[in-house]
Structure 1
Amino acid sequence: MNISIAENLYKQLLKIRIIEEEISDRYSEEKMRCPTHLAIGQEAAAVGVCASLNNNDYAVSGHRAHHHYIAKGGNINKLIAELYGKETGCSGGKGGSMHLVDKNAGFMGSTAIVAGTIPVGVGLSLSQKLKSSKNITCIFFGDAATEEGVFYESINFAALKDLPVLFVCENNRFSCFTHLSQRQPESRKIFQMVSAMGIESFECDGNDVISVYNMANQITKTIKNGEGPKFLELHTDRWLEHCGPNYDDDLGYRSKIEIKKSRENDPIKILEKKFPELSSSKKNSIKKELNLLTEQAFVFAENSNFPPEKEAYTNLYSQ
């Protein structure tokens, strides 16, 4: 991998981290009147996969979607404005943190319902196949989504129709406060289960953005070559509470050893170790630029207007 690619991956990781931390810091102001599921610690999964996609490829996500939206190229000003409920938000101020969309970037939506966008993504990939498009759809979801019935129906349909779709499972091991071992057989790996259902499947360290990018890049090429749907399980770590801006290390559902290990698996630090060519001056320059962009996004949101009352009756039905 050349330094320019590594630098771009680093910039995207840091961009997500800075924005998410700023959201966390400002959340107590109570100007963001919506639940937030932050992705601090899980940045590499989104960045590595989305770096293998182009602007015309589609992506959909679930309730924890900020990192996917940003990595896919979603407008940052519109993201923050959406959290503030402003009319300039990406969903007109009516969607909040969990309902994001930026069609210009190919980010076709996220939803609060666990596994809710999996069949939507499969439908998007079906449309791509019917149009003989050379593009694909990437569906992001967590390990808990693999416990929903619609997940299996979608996997089966994608395999049956040989669709150009990449299923990406970000396995952070927790559904709210419940560990994967309490929800699924310990001897079973998710990607192996999907493989048995007829879709070629892979797993990868989801905190190593270079490994994620290299694997996702190869997988997306095979899908675009007409080799059918693929499944990628990325092992990663959620640093903060399930929903909210705080750490919840004191709750006891995660051991101190597990918490310590997850913090050590920092995607940003892992990339810095792999690419010492990223000089301190370059990293500081990138950070300064991203801090400015983030501050400007919050100013944009603060200065934007709330939607007029009549907007409550729009976009209720397809037009």
Structure 2
Amino acid sequence: MTVRIGVIGAGGMGREHITNLAAIDGVEVAVVADVVATAALDAAGLCNAAASTDAFAVARDPSLDAIVIASPDDTHANLTIAAVERGAFVLCEKPLASNVADAERVVAAEVAAGRPLVQLGFMRQYDPAHLQVATAIGELGAIRHVRSAHRNTNHQWERPLELVFSQSLIHDVHTARWLMGTEFSSVTTQVVSGPRPVEHVVVLGAMADGSTVTIEFVEATYGYDIDVEVTCEHGMVTAPQPAQPVVRFEGAGHQHIGDDWFGRFTEAYRAEAADWIAGVRAGEVRGPTSIDGLAAQRVVDAAIRSAVSGQREAVSPPFVTSGRT
């Protein structure tokens, strides 16, 4: 059967999803919505879709099997709820919502719908390098520590701490939960200012099983760079860097890193799209869930509180525990 998709949000992330979904056999991106009419028309032209400026009309359209939400963060919760209330599957970019209360509303709406419908865009769970780590740690005993380093090139604007967490570090939070199969119980946050209001962030997390997490974030100037390493009882695993050729020229060797997440996670986004569509066809959610989105939001909330208070802050547990897959 043909799966008819509506995409809400015609920015870079929405266009990435349009391109990946349109390349899957049996998928029709039927409509693209954006509050900016010219942006909607331009993105719709990528796949010969209709264009709309009414996001809620698209979310509630009964002719669409599933909805992608790649609009601004503060619209995610209400648009997801609108789609869920009519029984549509949703792929929502992170964060699930802009605050914990709204994330809880999304989960409540999904519970009321009577079945899982929402997948979160934590695409690292589909990244080959992260999957290699998840496979390798299975033979090394219990996890004792996860360290994640997130170096993000951000030349366009200076982000406040809340956006650094909701747009960037929330990925590292989910990675830790996914790999470790346990929840954050508390966090301590240290923020260093420099040329930007938020230059460097370190989050120390205590997990419910006694293990620990270190998340480091830097507004880097040289490129977009992600590292993750896991220390277990009997060894440790470090994620490989994506394979890139080393070019030797004019007395120097150079290996391309890239300056944004689209290049780094191209394969992950494609795999995410394919798995989401397979789940829609099977009537199930296969990737990160709304509970994962809520759990990550609660960690982010506690980490921001810690940055303000200077103290370790407790993390409220999610409704259920998401195990390692």
TM-score of the alignment, normalized to the shorter chain, above 0.5: no
As a proportion of its length, which structure holds more strand? 2
Bigger relative contact order, structure 1 or 2, given CA contacts below 8 A and separation 6+?
1
- The TM-score, its normalising length taken from structure 1, stands at 0.31
- The TM-score, its normalising length taken from structure 2, stands at 0.30
As a proportion of its length, which structure holds more helix? 1
